[in-house]
Structure 1
Amino acid sequence: MNAPDRNIRPEIRQLDEAAVNRIAAGEVVERPASAVKELVENALDAAATRVDIAYADGGKTLIRVRDDGHGMSAQDLPLALSRHATSKIDGTDLLNIRSFGFRGEALPSLGAVGRLTLTTRTTGEEGATLSVDGGRIGAVRPEAAQYGTTVTLRDLFHATPARLKFMRSDRAEAQAIADVVKRLAMAEPYVSFTLSDVSNNEARQIFRADAAQGALFDALEERMATILGREFTDNALRIDAEREGLHLTGLAALPTYSRGAAVAQYLFVNGRPVRDKMLLGALRAAYADVLSRDRHPVVALFLNCDPELVDVNVHPAKSEVRFRDPGLARGLVVSALRHALAGAGHRASSTVGGAMLGAMQPQGTPQRYQMDRPSGAAIRSAYQMQAPQGLAEAPALWSEPQGVSARHDAPVDGPQEAPLGAARAQVHENYIIAQTTRGMVIVDQHAAHERLVYERLKRQRAENGVASQALLIPEIVELSAHETAHLLELAPDLAALGLVIEAFGGASIIVRETPAILGQMNAAGLLRDILDELADLGQSQSLEARIDAVLSRMACHGSVRSGRVMRVEEMNALLREMEATPLSGQCNHGRPTYVELGLDDIEKLFGRR
């Protein structure tokens, strides 16, 4: 790189309007999906009840967004293509933003890098159209048009060809467009959306979501079933919590319905899709106790508050937000999710049973038939006729077959009507077979007891606190003045977890006591981990997570081991405790503790249905 010539003074000049718009487009319009996002948000701000999106070649050659919103007048069209011209705010209060858009940059930015055509009609006026090509605005012309607005963008980035080199394949860009549309469709369940690929002059519908009906949660579940599938809504918990002006609603999946990557985590703030690292950190913290590190929860959460409590003007694409009280928002997400997961009790994902059925392959192709349900008297008579020779004269030994005894007055080992039923057998010294009124349950005794012991240990910790041990030689940790001040603010919270720290002159901290449960440990390393988490998320869970990890290991070693033969009474006691213990549907690592099979499913395996 050549050094600048200090003898030549650079001249300060005003950039022309076209250059300014192309620079703004570089911030606002990163790829075709960014253009779709801006245009669909404009449609939603216009009170549209239907939005139709079409694209060709991954959005590189064509993007068209049509809505039935309130439209614009012919006089408004030139102004709409001027930078920082908007109908959504008056500029007096940038902290009271109640719309998706507010900067007035999207349309002029798109017009600066592509060929843009606006066609619109509003109530009581004729339709009008206006085109702009590479920043050059044409004249307003009359146009026959439906009520609402249609924005057509062709040849995106033709005015900045270098940008085209950074575009990905048509398929990748099309996938990004679909993701943007689906996120906005989640935010607006009462609006209809369609997305079509019109490449090669062939219209192919990619996505459709009709306007949902009913109350908020019913509409939300209907929309989520359309986008994420019915399996998600069947295995999701409703979230509804409020604290100091913040209101959190949405759906959060059970831990046993998780993903191998964080690709299904949808977060919204005042209806705006965001990717906020603080909220994502809160999500990880809420599920930390029920999922292993390589699994990720599936959620769709909506955080609503007064616009003055959150700043959305911190990112050109408006994908990040800043809360006035980030700790309050984070705490609400963590506590609401943990409360909902605990309230789910022993419930596990229904997909676990489906996966088990998929793994079972019946031998041959049996002829299916409808199984009759004879009466108890008919069963006794039939079994008496089928009795082996020598037992026909002893009906008492044969008339009550074991498989149907629950239908009569014979005693039952445990309540079948209980959610997890009555224990019937133990196989391979690890799996409990229980019979329910609807089918059967198979329980992994070690995984189930591990969760029960872990929850018991956590309750004891909450009641009695974390015991600490004084260090024979206190450890001195050298930090920066800022880091020291930050840690000392947290000293009371750390002491409650067994870590006692004090200031030690200058920028040093002395560690006098550590949690006894952690044994010998690197105090300096722990403090630096806490500081890193504070810098990243604004709050640290490092110490608590380490203690929980130790409790989890203790629970694993202290639980019923695989290979131990259990009596019926012990098996039933385990089932009853599972029903009464939060989170018992999954072990400490997020794996299911039991699988449930309905009687109908079992009969299908044998061709009886």
Structure 2
Amino acid sequence: MALADPKISAFRPVIRQLDSAAINRIAAGEVVERPASAVKELVENAVDAGAARIDVAYADGGKSLIRVTDDGCGMNAADLPLALSRHATSKLPGDDLLDIHTFGFRGEALPSLGAVGRLRITSRPAGEDAHAITVEQSRPGPVTPTALGPGTVVELRDLFHATPARLKFLRSDRAEAQAIGDVMRRIAMAEPATGFTLRDVSGGGARTILRADAQTGDLWDSLAARLRTILGPAFIENAIPIEATREGVTLTGYAALPTFSRGAAVAQFLFVNGRPVKDRMLLGALRAAYSDVLPRDRHPAAALFVSCDPHLVDVNVHPAKAEVRFRDPGLVRGLIVSALRHALASEGHRSATTTGTGLLGAATPEPTPARIYQMDRPAPRPAPQPGFAETAAVFARPTEEAPQGTDEGPLEENPLGAARGQVHENYIIAQTADGMVIVDQHAAHERLVYERLKRQRAENGIAAQQLLIPEIVDLPEGDAATLLALADDLSALGLTIEPFGGGAVAVRATPAILGEVTAAPLLRDILDEIADTGGSQLVEARIDAVLSRMACHGSVRSGRRMRAEEMNALLREMEATPLSGQCNHGRPTYVELKLADIERLFGRS
């Protein structure tokens, strides 16, 4: 006996128009995911209103209260009810949805918030009276006169009280507060000329979470000052300014040294035309740029700003506007990768300052009262005692007598100084003009050999190993077309592919340095990377991995005694080699200690 299809009914369903309250709640589900989403929409409205100062207060992780106060242009009595209508906006001058120069443009935020919480808007334009309006369950109240200085105050209480089921999906107050803080930091980075304050007023208190005063000066000075406030001074001290342009697309910002990496992707901030975004293609480009200097379990820190003609990027991909779509994603990705790699290489042997300060912090003794020791007092040199000279010479002599200088000047004047000795047959101790340097000889030489191999590869190309019998790989026709479009790029890396009819691809050569390769998995891995990041560096990454292993085996091993001239030659080559501040695995190759810090360590300051 056949069962009746539960989807088939004897009654024809009736098509009806949803009421405005239901429409607003549906829209709110896309725009207002959590309290941080509400904060984002309201703060962006304040920025678009030209505010110079924006204050945000929240209680209970934003669940019971969100209040945003700004000194922007404000709204008059006629504007307030119109602002609560869906798709009413002052930010879209025409019908061109690509000509976007503001954060908002959809006209959905305020009616969506009024559908899921108790909303009150108080506003006053300069030179006019202040008025207020309240909204609850999408039903606006009357506009009433009130008192307020120029600007706007938007107060949202009891978020999701109209949709209690949504409350069950919110996280703890602490987690929601952290999400609000993340939103505020990203917007504050994008607008250094605007002052921001974030306060937690739970329980009647007022705890300041973030204070970022408005910055003045040129682009670089104001951005650096704002990033110092948001990310801390250590980021700016260990970051490289980035500026590059290609075919109308500009990349600016700061990217940290590889040795300033993080254990998670928590310090990656990307902006497109001033809008904070979390775009998979851009994040993939950032990861690819550091792929040669960081292991997979470490993540770079960066704040990067992509600027282009608004018609070259679509920000109307999702109501939350966190994703974008570029007309030419390959151009943007290539710009990010090449600009970052060039900037990192231009820093030469530079390493993060936190490696030295971290070492000093771990070794800092307990504070002791200041005391002048007898040995610090001037005194006549005592007569040598029997055997003293011989004993002192043993401790003072390095592995072999180091040269004291060159025609260009003392070796100590070089960035990595002059080698003074070797300890544990692995660490070179060098003296600089204002401190000392400890070098991991194996890690440093490994990077030097690796960069030498890469230069040889760039000069001579990648040797291809021709296959006696081409390997035929069957793929979906779309995947085959994607690979064949990259055939020239892959051929430059030693991987030669040709069409073989339908979705089949013939592999005629593979990179010789990779040895025996099974083509089918390699091609599928390349396709996966293209889908994930918008481009493929997989073959090049595999070749780099082989070169890295070769460099490891061809470098100075731990446990080998080095002569003074060998140690100084290593230091000079490090100074002249890009990326020598970190080994092939992203670890620092040296630690620098300033003399003033060492003296503080021994209580001499």
Give me the TM-score of the superposition, normalised by structure 2.
0.95
Decide whether the 8 Å contact of 2:249 with 2:332 is kept in 1: yes
In the alignment, does 2:306 pair up with 1:310? Answer: no
| Matched position secondary structure for 1:25 | helix
What amino acid is aligned across from residue 368 of structure 1 in structure 2? A
Structure 2 alignment gaps of length 5 or more: none
2:16: which partner in 1? 13
Distance 2:127 2:208 in 1: 33
In the alignment, does 2:589 pair up with 1:593? Answer: yes
2:370: which partner in 1? 368
CA separation of 1:403 and 1:226: change in aligned 2, threshold 3 A: farther
1:259: which partner in 2? 262
2:524: which partner in 1? 528
In the alignment, does 2:461 pair up with 1:470? Answer: no
Distance 2:397 2:155 in 1: 69
In the alignment, does 2:574 pair up with 1:578? Answer: yes
Give the CA deviation at 1:241: 1.0
Q: How does 1:186-585 map to 2 (within 5 A)?
A: 186-362=189-365, 366-369=368-371, 382-383=380-381, 385=382, 387-388=384-385, 411-412=404-405, 415-585=411-581
Decide whether the 8 Å contact of 1:345 with 1:580 is kept in 2: yes
Distance 1:118 1:168 in 2: 27
In the alignment, does 2:49 pair up with 1:52? Answer: no
What amino acid is aligned across from residue 384 of structure 2 in structure 1? A
Greater CA drift, 503-512 or 302-311:
503-512
CA separation of 1:73 and 1:456: change in aligned 2, threshold 3 A: same
| Matched position secondary structure for 1:416 | helix
Task: Note the alpha carbon deviations across 1:569-604, whole angstroms, 9 max, x for none.
Answer: 000000000000000000011000000000011111
CA separation of 1:371 and 1:297: change in aligned 2, threshold 3 A: farther
What amino acid is aligned across from residue 54 of structure 1 in structure 2? A
Distance 1:331 1:450 in 2: 28
Q: How many residues align?
A: 595
Decide whether the 8 Å contact of 1:387 with 1:398 is kept in 2: no
Give the CA deviation at 1:331: 0.8
Distance 2:160 2:24 in 1: 12
Give the CA deviation at 1:387: 2.8
In the alignment, does 2:129 pair up with 1:126? Answer: yes
CA separation of 1:134 and 1:371: change in aligned 2, threshold 3 A: farther
Give the CA deviation at 1:399: 13
Task: Note the alpha carbon deviations across 1:314-339, whole angstroms, 9 max, x for none.
Answer: 01100000111111111111111111
CA separation of 1:373 and 1:585: change in aligned 2, threshold 3 A: farther
Decide whether the 8 Å contact of 2:404 with 2:411 is kept in 1: no
In the alignment, does 2:151 pair up with 1:148? Answer: yes
Distance 2:394 2:221 in 1: 46
Decide whether the 8 Å contact of 1:237 with 1:251 is kept in 2: yes
Give me the TM-score of the superposition, normalised by structure 1.
0.94
| Matched position secondary structure for 1:256 | helix
Distance 2:136 2:370 in 1: 66
CA separation of 1:189 and 1:373: change in aligned 2, threshold 3 A: farther
CA separation of 1:288 and 1:390: change in aligned 2, threshold 3 A: closer
CA separation of 1:7 and 1:561: change in aligned 2, threshold 3 A: same
Give the CA deviation at 1:6: 3.5
Distance 2:396 2:300 in 1: 40
Residue from 84, 102, 105 that aligns with 2:105: 102
Distance 2:394 2:463 in 1: 56
Distance 2:466 2:149 in 1: 77
What amino acid is aligned across from residue 285 of structure 2 in structure 1? A
Aligned CA RMSD, in angstroms, stands at 2.3
In the alignment, does 2:115 pair up with 1:112? Answer: yes
Structure 1 alignment gaps of length 5 or more: none
